Chains A and B, each alone.
Chain A
Amino acid sequence: MSEPDLSSSSLTPAEEPTEGSTSRRRMVLNMGPQHPSTHGVLRIILELEGETILNATPDIGYLHTGIEKECEVKTYQQVVPLTDRVDYLANLSNNLGYSLAVEKLLQLEIPPKAQWMRVLLVELTRINSHLVWLGTHAMDIGAMTVFLYCFREREDLLRIFEMFSGQRMMTSYIRVGGLALEPPRGWEQAVGKFIDAFPSKLAEYEDLLTKNPIWMNRTKGVGFLALEDLLDCGVTGPMIRAAGMKWDIRKDEPYSSYDKFDFEIPTREASDVYARYEVRLEEMRQSVRIIRQAMDGMPEGAWVTSAPNVVLPEREKMKTQIEALIYHFKIVTEGFTVPAGEAYVCIESPRGELGYYVVSNGTSKPHRVFMRTPSFANLQALPDMVKGRLIADTIAALGSIDFVLGDVDR
């Protein structure tokens, strides 16, 4: 896809009107980078003929933060807060992906409680992310009410994250070696209350949208792309599941004890905006199921692994034993060293395959951290989805991709 020539004004006729024809003009329209429905600073260059889209070129990079590069000057544990900021709607998923990659290099065994807790937290993150998606997606299409309800539930989730970690979004709660802090007092009640109430809320969203004729008209048959085309673009996650492919890393390459949980992978065949909506809604139900299992079967034991050279010692020991104090001092000031090597770990983030590729040169700082972010790959499917459709369908298609610009640009 080559970028259209924008050297002159955006209303330049792309081809001279032929004699005798009605005066139909091609025009180029910049959608974004400051457009509410692009959910961040994304610019889409639309080539239009009337309302029909001839071509759409996403122009990314407006949110490029250099996070991948910055990882190279931070110690391994200091990278965790950076991963929070990659996909800022799925912070804990990013924490987890990165931690798993470093733990693979370190060959750390993570205690069951930490693994269960991680599963619980990333599933809450999935619900959180899908709620933001549903709310904003529905609002883009015109359903304002859903937005408010979704954000109400999200508020509960953010409180839970704050309860665990101290911050609502940038949690940095999942760390290399386990969790940052012991799970707080009363977390069972807080999480339990939420998942007890949440299915009925989900039903409410369905009442508002699923059968709603406006919703159906705006979404059914819109943004269709065949499964092969999606796979060619490297699309993963709910989008390919809505095209009939039963692929979910939690099931197919289980990590962090996902194989011990019982849940379904929802799929649809239509591969349109409506099918993606149905898949994501069903995923939230499955997440609730996983969270409930995690709470019921939460193992006893440590919430961090026992690796004195990696994990900070218990605070009580650090204050009373010189050995623990020295380890604390060294880990804090120099960080732990990771054996030279490379590791790729991918997890199923709310958006699809989130991969962390970490290269270590044996020092306490990563040589390279590459993030295979789902948003970047998923966004590539956009042009083919909207070609030949109307501008209004772009909004619906964009929303159904559910990308996060921080995740695209990093």
Chain B
Amino acid sequence: MADSVNLTIDGKAVQAAPGTLVIDAAKKVGIEIPAFCYWEGLTLQAACRMCLVEVERMPKLMTACTLTVAEGMVVRTETPLVAEARKSMLEFVLTNHPLDCPVCDKGGECELQDMTFRYGAGEGRFDEMKVHVDEKQWSPVVYFDAPRCILCYRCVRICDEGMGVDALGVIYRGVVSEIAPNKEDHLQCDECGMCIDICPVGALTSGMYRYRTRPWEMEHTGTICAHCSNGCKTTLGTRNGQIIRGNNRDKSGINGEFLCIKGRYAFDFNSHPERLQSPLMRIGGKLEPVSWSRAIGEVARRFTEIRERGGRFGVVGSNRTSNEENYYLQKFARQGLGTNNIDHRRTGDVPALIDALAGRTGVLATVKDVYTAKASLVIGSDLAQQHPLLAYQLRANWRHHQSHTYTVTRGPVREDKYSVHGVRVEPGAELGALESLRDQLKAEPELVILFGDAIKGEAVRRLVEFGDSLGIPVKYICLVDYSNSRGAVDMGLLPHLGPGYQGVENPGMSLPEMLAAEDLDAFWVVGANPLEHNKLAADRAFVVVHDLFLTETAERADVVFPAASAYEKNGTVTNVCGEVQHLRSAVQTMGVKTDLEILGLLSKEMRINLGMWTPESVLREIRQTVRGYNVALPVIAAGGAAQSLPLNGRVTLDSRPELIQSAGDTLFTSGTLGRYSKTLLSVLEYPGVLYGEAAEPEADRR
């Protein structure tokens, strides 16, 4: 087989690898062949027949989306015959298309409109009555208007192949064919909205964006999803300071076209009516709204007073605030308040992995590695529920490259459908079970190991030893829960580790110790909710909370600062693979300030010099001082992801791995934040979507 095939498209000489489709080869030289049903990465359908081209020595027009290149092939895409074919195909597609453009959500970004305007006729010849079918609601998220559908099967394929959910199918035949859910009249699925965004027309519309506005009326801001740790890029469409929608249609970022329900629709916490918009202060036993200057002044006064009499502070950071805020907070605690009592909710044992891998290079996997690695091993995590992007990458890897996947989990997971080998284990027995896979793994050319909170402490070292013993290149991902959980560890929100995993003298108290310490004088919580299930033993502690909502912790507070959400601030976050990405402020809520600004104002009021508190200046300091964070700024600024590599030295480890506990969020929960998303709550309650009971036994193993 030759390395490349030579062909001619519209007079241009093209070289393409054997097996390349003509439509892709044409794209390479800048020739666009229109198509509805063709979608890179999905199986071929040849349903729409828009991509017909003329090929020399072929009797009829050929579909460019199924035709592979051949040596000496001569393709023409702009002949009168092809133009006529496109025109006729569009006429055919539009025969039963309703006159819905004025009310259709897709108007203005509709592929059918674009194609008709470019290739179609300006007038119709049919004036027969159109077949009408009423619109259906399949779930809180998905609405379907059958007459608008052009039956390109993109939704069916992305759901089945891309998501592995297989919730959509086609019913009836011929002219009355219709897309329909496979489960009676509703969708039993992830509610991810992939089918809606991939739909070239307005047949599938979302409950959130429905009839709200028009694409050209919105401003678009590309930022990072505020929910899980995968760090998907989401483009927020905003109008009048309201987020109207999120999507990733430009396929930018590490996630390409992928987004789950959280990135696409669960932005609505941002405009929740219970958002705090003014600082609160406990006056006469009740939390009353006060001015910013009064609240800042009060906290500064009390903190200064406690610091001067040598009182005990407890500082809790967040899994969701930006790197800059986390860095500034630990600097505030350590330098300003003189305490190492700083912690956050730990969800994965990253320090142990960093320690075990000390001194090596090329062992931390990126999101892309999950898509390209020849084999992957998932240990102790329900990837599809907790890390949807990694699960999507893994599935795409299997679809496109036939990669091998191994799972070692406590119960059935969706990866079982295509995994080479799935092992069920009792909690705690994960490491032992690996031995049964040793021979199979040894035969693989390379491996990516993704492990959850089941592997922590000493087990991480043993896992790395196991990986070493295989004799193949192995990369690791330590799974953590939230959007900046990894960043919180990297920035040193730990009692024993400073930024960049540098050990500190006199390690402070961990979070449970702070909660249990009766003599705590001040308890400062920045964007967390530790009192959700716990009680603060120190009754008389002065409690300061930064949060978006009046959470359980905030209700106990003496002063509450209304904080800006991740969609309202600039900065950087680090995803589960250590990839640093840029947050961009998309909207503003009246009355709130970013945590960084609150910290800065407090430091100013307390006369502590911690440096400038703009995201840019703090990032500059992070890049200069935090190990592994000297990431390429242009990459981040341009919306890309740059992996931080903190692997340069042994790390002091905490001897209590039991402090590490994943929250076990599912696709439809997102910690405290998820409680304020109407979308997530609506799909939780909707009947028939209690996904994840078990992979159906008859699940096809392809």
Contact = CB atoms under 8 A, between A and B. Distances in A.
Q: Do chains A and B touch in the complex (CB under 8 A)?
A: yes
A321 interface: yes
Given A330-B117, A333-B108, A333-B216, A323 B99 contact: no
Contact of B117 (A309, A319, A321): A309
27 contacts: A308-B123, A317-B124, A320-B99, A321-B99, A322-B94, A322-B97, A322-B99, A322-B101, A322-B124, A323-B116, A323-B122, A323-B124, A324-B122, A324-B123, A324-B124, A325-B101, A326-B94, A326-B101, A326-B116, A326-B117, A326-B120, A329-B101, A329-B102, A329-B108, A330-B114, A333-B108, A334-B108
B98 A322 contact: yes
A354 to B, nearest CB: 32
Given A326-B113, A329-B107, A333-B108, A319 B120 contact: no
B113 A321 contact: no
Interface residues of A, number: 17
Interface string B95-126: 00111011000011000111011001111101
Interface string B442-471: 000000000000000000000000000000
Contacts of B98: 322
Nearest to A331: B117
Interface string A292-333: 000000000000000011000100010111111111011001
Given A326-B113, A333-B108, A308 B122 contact: yes
Contacts of A333: 107-108, 214, 216
B127 A320 contact: yes
A265 to B, nearest CB: 42
B90 to A, nearest CB: 8
Contacts of B124: 317, 321-324
A137 B127 CA distance: 60
Q: Identify the 10 closest CB pairs spanning chains A and B, nearest first.
A: A308-B122, A321-B124, A330-B117, A323-B124, A326-B116, A329-B101, A322-B97, A322-B94, A326-B113, A325-B99
A309 B114 CA distance: 12
A308 B119 CA distance: 11
Contacts of B102: 325, 329
The binding surface of chain B is classed by DSSP as loop
Contacts of A308: 121-123
A313 B120 contact: no
A317 B125 CA distance: 11
Contacts of A327: 116-117, 122
B123 A321 contact: yes
A308 B120 CA distance: 10
A323 B113 contact: no
A308 B126 CA distance: 18
- The residue among A319, A322, A324, A334 with the most chain B CB atoms within 10 A of its own CB is A322
Nearest to A330: B117
Given A324-B124, A329-B101, A333-B216, 5 more contacts: A320-B127, A323-B121, A323-B123, A324-B123, A327-B117
Interface string B157-176: 00000000000000000000
A96 to B, nearest CB: 25
A321 B90 CA distance: 13
Nearest to A321: B124
Interface in B345-388: none
A330 B215 CA distance: 13
A103 B99 CA distance: 30
Interface of B: 91, 94, 97-99, 101-102, 107-108, 112-114, 116-117, 120-124, 126-127, 214, 216
- The residue among B98, B112, B123 with the most chain A CB atoms within 10 A of its own CB is B123
Contacts of A326: 94, 101, 112-113, 116-117, 120
Interface in A321-350: 321-327, 329-330, 333-334
- The residue among B117, B124, B126 with the most chain A CB atoms within 10 A of its own CB is B117
Contacts of B126: 321
A323 B96 CA distance: 11
A326 to B, nearest CB: 5
A120 B120 CA distance: 36
Contacts of A317: 123-124
B260 to A, nearest CB: 31
A332 to B, nearest CB: 10
B94 A323 contact: yes
A320 to B, nearest CB: 6
B188 to A, nearest CB: 34
A325 B216 CA distance: 18
Contacts of B117: 309, 326-327, 330
Nearest to A323: B124
B99 A313 contact: no
A313 B123 contact: yes
A336 to B, nearest CB: 9
Contacts of A324: 122-124
Contacts of A325: 99, 101-102
A401 to B, nearest CB: 45
B623 to A, nearest CB: 39
A156 B67 CA distance: 68
Contacts of B116: 323, 326-327
A321 B101 CA distance: 11
Contacts of B122: 308-309, 313, 323-324, 327
A47 B532 CA distance: 85
A393 to B, nearest CB: 56
- The residue among A324, A326, A327 with the most chain B CB atoms within 10 A of its own CB is A326
Nearest to B120: A323
A319 B98 CA distance: 11
Given A326-B116, A327-B117, A329-B107, A319 B99 contact: yes
Contacts of A334: 108
Contact of A330 (B97, B113, B214): B113
Contacts of B108: 329, 333-334
Nearest to B115: A326
B559 to A, nearest CB: 48
A308 B101 CA distance: 17
Contacts of B101: 322, 325-326, 329
Contacts of B91: 323
Contacts of A309: 117, 122
Contacts of A320: 99, 127
A25 to B, nearest CB: 62
A121 B468 CA distance: 88
Nearest to B118: A309
A106 to B, nearest CB: 15
Interface in A30-63: none
A317 B113 CA distance: 16
Nearest to B94: A322
A384 B126 CA distance: 69
A321 B96 CA distance: 11
Nearest to B87: A323
A326 B112 CA distance: 9
Nearest to B112: A326
Nearest to B126: A321
A321 B91 CA distance: 11
B327 to A, nearest CB: 42
- The residue among A317, A319, A327 with the most chain B CB atoms within 10 A of its own CB is A327
A188 B370 CA distance: 76
B120 A329 contact: no
Contacts of B216: 333
A177 to B, nearest CB: 13
A334 B101 CA distance: 14
Contacts of B120: 323, 326
A325 B113 CA distance: 9
A327 to B, nearest CB: 5
A333 B114 CA distance: 12
Contacts of B127: 320-321
A198 to B, nearest CB: 42
Nearest to B114: A330
A254 B113 CA distance: 40
Contacts of B123: 308, 313, 317, 321, 323-324
A327 B91 CA distance: 13
